[in-house]
Amino acid sequence: MTAIAAQAAPQAPRHSAQPYSPAHAYAAAPSRRFERVAVSSIFGDPMDRRTWSAAPYNVASCLQKLGIAVEGIHSGGTRGERGLLALHYMMTGYGRPHSSEAVLRLDSARRKAAERLAETARRRRIRHILHTGTLDLPPVDREDGVKHYLYCDQTWALSLAHRTDLSDYSQRAVDSFEESERAALDSVEHIFTFGHYVRDHMIAHYGLPPEKVTAVGSGMGQIEPYDQPKDYSRPHLLFVAKHLFVAKGGNLLVEAFRIAQAERPDLLLNIVGDPASAGHVATHPGIHFHPHLPWRELQRLYRVSSLLAQPMLNDPWGQVYLEALLSRTPVIGLRRNGLPEIVENGQHGFLVEDADPQALASTILDALSDPQRLTEMGWSGQQHVLQTYSWDAVANRIAFG
């Protein structure tokens, strides 16, 4: 197939506009939830792009475009405080903490973060707080009339199904953190989730009223839509992991790639990761490792790749999937967490049932065997992303939903 032929794709279906009626003309404009709000994050300054893949920054920026005054609050503590909390973690009988996340899930850690957040909000006279995660909840200032909201991509209970570090947690810790999560979710005015699957889980597992939880999606980073000719006959794969190489499926993919390349020697895999991940990628023909790239170069790799092969073991959503689809690059991943929703159960990508190298290799070979199918998936995936996911839409749903 030529590059020009590969660009051809079906025309988007035309949707008829909603018929006009006097009721629409005189309907009252929806009121905003707040005119001023603080966005909080326990992992860093929420107004900094480096915090939580820039999700807090993007939400805050788009709320500001709506005329809402937004301030950021970092609710995390010092390294010394985390050291004391780690000691408390062991004294509580939870074992030895293997990550900062484990320490921050302690009831005492949550309370310290909530108190720090409440004090900052009180000093700034803030009455509405949008949390980007549950680790600075439940709130300690509800009696003061402060309203709390939550924007999140997962829950503790959902993470247990595929956590790669689950063996590091004692059963006592698992049960305690579940109780804390339940209390956090019960304590807020409204919850906004990335995916519908998270919303459904919160209602079914935690018993939250459906009217309290709204799926609002997410947006993307700086990747721009691609509309130029694209040749899907070239078997070029891409994998992107700025951190957590193993948890994002890097080792699984490398093993699968070796199996697939034995059958198709022309396969090429570009891996983008932090320099520390290079040790996971032994010298192998066909695998090119790139330390952190400038954004424009990463965008170029999205555009020249035929497939994003990203078998993430336990990522609740995956901005990388959206960025690939925006570039008209279909994706391959595991049938878990947010990916089935993002690709509409296989319309814009390929879902592998188990984290098995042979199954992944077979799916890669099958996907690359039909460039025309990739062409159609790339086009439909881009349309789906453009119509469904944007930070402006997220902000609107949070402010007015």
Q: What is the dihedral of CA 78, 83, 85, 89, to 10 degrees?
A: 150
What per-residue confidence (pLDDT) applies to 29? 60
Return the closest-CA partner of residue 400 out of 26, 40, 25, 33.
Answer: 33
What per-residue confidence (pLDDT) applies to 14? 33
What per-residue confidence (pLDDT) applies to 224? 95
What per-residue confidence (pLDDT) applies to 163? 93
CA-CA distance, 257 to 292, in Å (whole number)?
Answer: 21
Q: What is the dihedral of CA 144, 145, 146, 149, to 10 degrees?
A: 140
Backbone angles phi, psi at 300, to 5 degrees: -65, -40
**Secondary structure class of 73 (helix, strand, coil):** strand
What per-residue confidence (pLDDT) applies to 221? 84
The answer to whether residues 353 and 182 touch, using CB atoms and an 8 Å cutoff, is no
Beta bridge pairs of residue 333: 351
Residues 6+ apart with CB under 8 A from 329: 238, 302, 303, 305, 306, 307, 308, 378, 381
What per-residue confidence (pLDDT) applies to 13? 36
Cis peptide bond prior to 19, omega within 30° of 0: no
What per-residue confidence (pLDDT) applies to 283? 73
What per-residue confidence (pLDDT) applies to 25? 39
What per-residue confidence (pLDDT) applies to 312? 98
Using 70 as the pLDDT threshold, list the residues of the chain that sit under it: 1-29
